[in-house]
């Protein structure tokens, strides 16, 4: 888990798949099937982004295609550094999806 952004309004955390568990699953599948490679299983690992809207106390977890789109946004921000207002505006769009109340953080 890596904190990517923290402001008065939002927190963004990158949740990574556990590498130790992935290695164990890859070894197990390779032993059972004989043809599954660790690279094949590693592509199935899911990662995601948790966006917390501190203003309303709600969070959204992005995974799958949502996480891929958000990752592309982060890559674009690395090329051209946005202002805090631009980042907050983008996060507001994702925060509109937030349904889960933040209970413990």
pLDDT in tens, 42-95: 445 568 999 999 999 999 999 989 999 999 999 999 999 999 999 999 999 999
Q: Where are the domains of the chain?
A: 2-101
Of the two residues 46 and 24, the one the predictor is more confident about is: 46
The pLDDT assigned to 13 comes to 94
Is the pTM of the predicted complex or chain greater than 0.75?
A: no
Average pLDDT over residues 29-41: 56
Residue 38 has pLDDT above 70, yes or no: no
3-state per-residue secondary structure call for 45-97: CCCEEEEEECCCCEEEEEECHHHHHHHHHHHHHHHCCCCHHHHHHHHHHHHCC
């Amino acid at each position: 888990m890596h904190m990517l952004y923290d402001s008065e309004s939002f927190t963004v955390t990158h949740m990574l798949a556990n590498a130790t568990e992935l290695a164990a699953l890859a070894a197990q599948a390779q032993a059972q099937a004989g043809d599954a490679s660790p690279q094949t299983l590693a592509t199935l690992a899911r990662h995601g982004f948790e966006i917390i809207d501190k203003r309303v106390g709600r969070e959204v977890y992005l995974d799958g295609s949502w996480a891929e789109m958000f990752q592309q946004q982060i890559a674009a921000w690395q090329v051209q550094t946005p202002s805090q207002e631009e980042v907050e505006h983008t996060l507001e769009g994702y925060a509109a999806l937030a349904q889960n109340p933040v209970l413990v953080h």
